[in-house]
């Protein structure tokens, strides 16, 4: 026994344990964008806020809100929208072609009423431009320029509203709002097409809610809400 070797077996792999611990403390797989958009109430308030513009600044903000809240486009994509990129779908819908994040082309549906509003905006400021959204006229500048991504961010920041998670609004907040609403009502494929994601799985991971509100059937105070309607009689 003097020459025998004693072998020790570790109780656990510390590296694997740390990895498992880190994994359990990480963000959930689904619903990664939860709370990054605006609530329905905030969106309604913004819509009413911009419903009766009285000057160029208010009219510009209305156009920005309507475009962002109906297309879900990124800030860079919004400021580069042009009339020369408008085409019609086989069904007669108006589409706008834009350059996506990865450099490929995407298409977004633009409501006819919104195109008319953009034209009225240009008429109001007495400008003919290929770009949808323009900067305000400066005293030392004769011509207007297309709005920049940074300019768009500053404008939306000045709306002074918060996201559902309590953070200050920014252009991507409106994209998340559109994405969540479309995903909830039409599913991942529809949301993927609107957002321009390469995969519906990516969209699903971002916007699948990690919870479900079953309050309508878990109301113990009202017995009628607990009744389950059965179309066929159970066998006796």
Q: Please give the structure tokens belonging to residue 34.
A: 């939860």
- Mind listing the pLDDT tens digit for each residue in 196-228? 998 999 899 899 988 888 888 888 887 665 555
Mark out the alpha helices in the chain (DSSP H runs): 14-24, 40-49, 56-71, 75-79, 112-124, 149-157, 171-186, 188-195, 200-207
Strand order in the sheet with 105-109: 86-88, 94-99, 105-109
CB 200 within 8 A of CB 188: yes
- Mind listing the pLDDT tens digit for each residue in 48-62? 999 999 999 999 999
- Mind listing the pLDDT tens digit for each residue in 67-126? 999 999 999 999 999 999 999 999 999 999 999 998 999 999 999 999 999 999 999 999
pLDDT at residue number 230: 46
CB 71 within 8 A of CB 110: yes
Per-residue buried b or exposed e for 38-57, using 16+ beta carbons within 10 Å of the residue's own CB? beeebbeebeeebeebeeee
Per-residue buried b or exposed e for 99-109, using 16+ beta carbons within 10 Å of the residue's own CB? ebeeeeebbbe
pLDDT at residue number 232: 47
User: Whole-angstrom Cα distance, residue 224 to residue 217?
Assistant: 9
Q: Which helix (H) or strand (E) holds 72?
A: none
Does 33 have pLDDT greater than 70? yes
Tell me the sheet residues that pair with 97. Answer: 107
The pLDDT of 145-155, averaged and rounded, is 97
pLDDT-based confidence at residue 178 (cuts at 50, 70, 90): very high
The pLDDT of 130-143, averaged and rounded, is 88
The overall average pLDDT reported for the chain is 86
pLDDT at residue number 10: 52
pLDDT at residue number 139: 75
DSSP string spanning 30-57?
S-TTTTSS--HHHHHHHHHHTSS--SHH
Please state the φ and ψ torsions of residue 232, each to the nearest 5 degrees.
-120, 145
Does 155 have pLDDT greater than 60? yes
Does 231 have pLDDT greater than 90? no
Domains identified in the chain and CATH numbers = 40-207 (1.10.443.10)
193: number of Cβ within 10 Å: 17
User: Whole-angstrom Cα distance, residue 63 to residue 121?
Assistant: 8
Task: Give the closest residue to 76 by CA, choosing from 134, 149, 24, 153.
Answer: 149
Percent of the chain surpassing pLDDT 90: 66
Q: Please give the structure tokens belonging to residue 188.
A: 């991942």
CB 68 within 8 A of CB 137: no
The more confident residue out of 146 and 5 is 146
Does 30 have pLDDT greater than 90? no
């Amino acid at each position: 026994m003097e020459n025998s070797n004693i072998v020790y077996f570790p109780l656990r792999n510390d590296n694997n344990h740390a990895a498992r611990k880190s994994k359990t403390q990480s963000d959930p797989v689904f619903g990664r964008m939860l709370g990054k958009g605006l609530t329905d109430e905030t969106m309604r308030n913004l819509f009413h806020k911009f419903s009766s513009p009285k000057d160029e600044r208010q009219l510009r903000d209305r156009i920005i809100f309507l475009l962002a809240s109906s297309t879900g486009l990124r800030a860079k994509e919004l400021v580069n929208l042009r009339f020369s990129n408008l085409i019609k779908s086989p069904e007669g819908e108006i589409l706008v072609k834009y350059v996506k994040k990865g450099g490929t082309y995407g298409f977004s549906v633009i409501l006819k009423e919104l195109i008319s509003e953009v034209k009225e905006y240009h008429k109001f400021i007495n400008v003919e431009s290929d770009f949808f959204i323009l900067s305000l006229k400066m005293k030392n500048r004769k011509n207007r320029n297309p709005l920049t991504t940074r300019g768009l961010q500053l404008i939306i920041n000045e709306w002074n509203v918060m996201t559902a998670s309590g953070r200050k609004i920014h252009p991507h907040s409106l994209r998340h709002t559109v994405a969540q609403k479309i995903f909830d009502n039409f599913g991942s494929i529809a949301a993927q097409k609107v957002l321009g994601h390469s995969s519906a799985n990516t969209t699903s991971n971002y916007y699948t809610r990690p919870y479900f509100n079953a309050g309508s059937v878990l109301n113990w105070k009202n017995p009628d809400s607990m009744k389950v309607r059965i179309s066929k009689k159970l066998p006796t």
